[in-house]
């Protein structure tokens, strides 16, 4: 097949931006935490280094998912994208567990209040992470990439924990002695949001891996487009599955019962071409011709 559609080449480079940003912020957090007497900030910096690995997994999954189909994989390698989404979701849940564990440990361990300068670092981290998460999330949502959306949520999670740390450190600095664990309690609350999002992303990735049908609205768009093709009398069964950022469609098309085999074949070819060249990101369509009832 010479007209095999592919994902935008730039899609797989998006996680690499996250790798670069995480590497820079991790260094800033660890240094600021060391000199600003904030072990929570040091731990947050170490956690950011794990996000680098996650982004590299997502990058690898996207690279594999756009590889062309071959004899052993006639439907392509799109499922690699869902697999990397599962890994990213599990990593997000693991990060929430690590943050929760560290927060409880810090609550139970007496420690000094951080220096006020750590607040400036947290403002920089939150602003950077929110911009990155929004940018990556928009691209992932538009391309319907589960792994990119999961990776975007890693950045949102980082922003949430940093916001929690900012609030907690501010409370501690204002309240004085006795308020040292305030940032740790705030981080625990942020973990609840992170876990909820991680489970939702994991559910999306598993559904895609199990070939769950897309939203009914997508099927309606496929049917509406097929009906516009000349010679189509009616439509019967329609099965759709998602693979990576693209779809495979199986559609039963009803034509004039008196049409010749060649005419039916031509109609099916036009339907297939209309679907594959549409903006719906349909990698291929398998058309079954039936006589109209």
User: What pLDDT, on the 0 to 100 scale, is given for residue 6?
Assistant: 42
User: What pLDDT, on the 0 to 100 scale, is given for residue 39?
Assistant: 64
Mean pLDDT of residues grouped by 10 in the chain (293 residues)? 44 85 87 76 71 84 86 88 88 83 80 78 91 91 84 83 80 78 76 82 87 90 95 94 90 94 95 95 94 85
Within the chain, residue ranges assigned H as helices are 14-35, 39-65, 79-108, 117-142, 146-175, 182-209, 216-227, 261-276
User: What pLDDT, on the 0 to 100 scale, is given for residue 249?
Assistant: 96
Q: How far apart are CA 182 and CA 107, in angstroms?
A: 8
CB distance 78 to 244 below 8 Å: yes
> Which structural domains are found in the chain, ordered by start?
9-209 (1.20.1510.10), 216-291 (3.30.70.1350)
- pTM value is 0.71
Region at 231 (left for phi over 0; alpha for psi -120 to 50; beta for the rest): left
User: What pLDDT, on the 0 to 100 scale, is given for residue 10?
Assistant: 64
Please tell me the number of Cα atoms within 13 Å of 221 on its side-chain side: 15
């Amino acid at each position: 097949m010479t007209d095999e559609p592919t994902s935008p080449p730039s899609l797989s480079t998006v996680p690499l931006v996250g790798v670069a940003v995480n590497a820079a912020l991790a260094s800033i957090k660890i240094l600021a935490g060391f000199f600003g007497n904030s072990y929570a900030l040091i731990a947050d910096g170490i956690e950011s280094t794990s996000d680098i690995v996650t982004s590299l997994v997502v990058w690898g999954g996207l690279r594999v998912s756009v590889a062309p189909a071959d004899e052993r994989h006639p439907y392509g390698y799109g499922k690699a994208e869902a697999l990397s989404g599962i890994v990213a979701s599990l990593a997000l849940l693991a990060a929430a567990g690590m943050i929760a564990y560290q927060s409880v440990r810090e609550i139970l361990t007496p420690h000094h209040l951080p220096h006020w300068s750590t607040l400036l670092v947290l403002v920089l981290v939150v602003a950077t992470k929110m911009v990155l998460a929004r940018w990556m999330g928009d691209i992932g949502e538009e391309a319907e990439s589960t792994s990119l959306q999961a990776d975007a949520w890693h950045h949102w999670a980082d922003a949430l924990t940093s916001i929690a740390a900012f609030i907690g450190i501010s409370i501690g600095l204002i309240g004085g002695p006795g308020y040292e664990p305030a940032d740790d309690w705030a981080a625990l609350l942020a973990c609840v949001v992170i876990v909820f999002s991680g489970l939702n992303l994991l559910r999306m990735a598993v559904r895609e891996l199990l070939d769950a049908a897309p939203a009914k609205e997508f099927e309606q768009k496929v049917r509406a487009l097929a009906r516009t093709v000349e010679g189509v009398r009616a439509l019967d069964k329609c099965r759709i599955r998602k693979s990576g950022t693209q779809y495979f469609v199986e559609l039963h098309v009803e034509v004039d019962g008196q049409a010749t085999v060649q005419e039916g074949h031509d109609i099916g070819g036009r339907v297939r071409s209309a679907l594959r060249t549409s903006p719906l990101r349909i990698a291929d369509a398998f058309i079954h011709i039936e006589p109209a009832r």
